[in-house]
Structure 1
Amino acid sequence: MSALTKRQKSASSLVIGTHSGTFQADEAMGVWMLRQHPAYYQSKVVRSRDLEVLGPLDIVIDVAGEYDHAKLRYDHHQRGFEETLSECGFDIKLSATGLVYRHYGKDVICELYPALKSEPAKLETVYSKFYKSFVQALDAIDNGVEIAENPRYSDGTGLSARVGRLNKRWNDTSESPTEDERFEKASAICGEAFVESLSYIVECEMAAYDLVEKAVLARNTVDPSGQIIKFESGGMPWKQHLYDLEAVHNIEGQVKFVLYTDQGGMWRVQAVTVKGTAFTNRVGLLESWRGVRDAELEKVSGIPGCKFVHNSGFIGGNKEFEGALLMAQKSIAGA
């Protein structure tokens, strides 16, 4: 159950510090995250580059030239800083967002989804998935890490670009919002994106994770080889979950096909791709079936109810579960 509702809490008396001047998404997001944490809930923010101003503040991010968790100082600009979320297998250098996420991210996630406090394994999965799908890009962009060696275009729709456009413009008038007002708006936009992305992982992806694990554990009841799994419903994200769960249960690469129904009730038989590839199947549907449909496919395959097999052999369909299962079994046997 989502906890993304207004919480009845008193604002903290602690003060968060960050730098003044042009702001970026990393400190705007970092401030928003801290303000969800019980210790810093809706704390006041002081924006300055003056060390005498920052010194007495309770926690400081993205400024002051020091990363020291014991002192509650989280800057990443100083010479020699090379911190990454290596404990979760990532190698992008952290920004203020990543540093706050490293030390307070799990607490923030649990503030929004309290049930995860009692499910540490699931919390670890959510924490890692959310870093990979959301936080990592903010770290990379702030640290100047290109998404590819030779980018073919620039993306002005991302969160970092949206935050950047909120900064004071050269031709703004005196009636324009103040720098701090602009920063508060940027931080709020970051929070909206955080909540939206996290809710998808927890409420959609992780709900699917449980069903995929159930199917993986029951794979030998579908076929004795353990190479075919069956989902009771289709339309859910499953590929990355399957790779993750194969590693958890020490069966990497063993599952070759998944069976599920589409919206029309047809049973689909879909090949599992090799991890790290988009189109290389571990085992594809048989070559002689590819591009063939309906009665002709029934004749070629010898399996009643066949509807189609894609030209690439990555997916096919059958009217009945038994037919889809046979299509998978024959393809594995003929590989």
Structure 2
Amino acid sequence: MEPESAVTTCYRHPKVETHVRCTRCDRYICPDCMREAAVGHQCVECVKEGARSIRQARTAFGGRIATAPVVTYVLIGLNVLAYLGELVRPAIVDRFAMLGAGLRGPDGGHYLWQYPYPPELHAEGVVGGQWERMLTGAFLHLPPTQGTFGILHIVMNMVSLWNVGRVVEAQLGRVRYITLYLLSALGGSVLVLLIAPGNPTIGASGAIFGLGAAYYVMARRLGADMSTVNRYMTGLLLWLLISAGLTSWQGHLGGLLAGGVVTLVFAYVPRGPRRGLIQAAACTGLLVLLVLLTVGKVTGLTS
């Protein structure tokens, strides 16, 4: 019987001789595979396995802790890019603004919705199958020379998004934050469709009102000093009333309501292994409700 070889090699690099074992799995590892551990060294696979088993830090609302408001940066960037696109091609606003129901003539003119409509006219807006308008309108803003505010429209919205968005994102985490933002924007568009389907609307205000509602709900849930929060919400609600004659109050109110509902779910679902699943189910339920309301309204407008 031949004596057993005393040469031992790395389990990942069989040609490399080594006499060091992983302190976790006891396999031989070479210097390239060694990772410092509390005691001795571990192999690459054991280090990865250990990292997966470490519980990730979470916020009070279940989101992962992030050091930078990346989603807020991205949202501001998308709004600014869309605005630059408007300046280069103004027709973008006409095509992608939120519009529930309208008619377009062969001459390119726009007409109020009526059903049935003459054969020479074509339906435009959500009733015309342009469902993307429900979200794209939330990334567009008034051109510099149009409307009551002009370029102040995007400036005011982006400043608000920067101020409130960073706080909300830090508390909710990135996934919950973007879910809140998009559902708030969609909620604003749905209320516009239900109440004023013939009014074209643009702007991130609906989503920002949703962030404002989230800011208030989170502060209450965390037991924060409400004096500053109440002043902010008072200003937000006053702007909702004042802007009724200047902008789309339906979009503002819809975003506020949707954002409030989403954040109530994030804030008050009990902690536990199923919290994330319950939160996701509730957000999905709200999305389904908004879709059903949209389909019902479109059906009513076209029948």
Shared fold per TM-score greater than 0.5: no
Q: Which has the larger radius of gyration?
A: 2
Q: Which structure's residues are more often strand, by fraction?
A: 1
Higher relative contact order (CA 8 A, sep 6+): 2
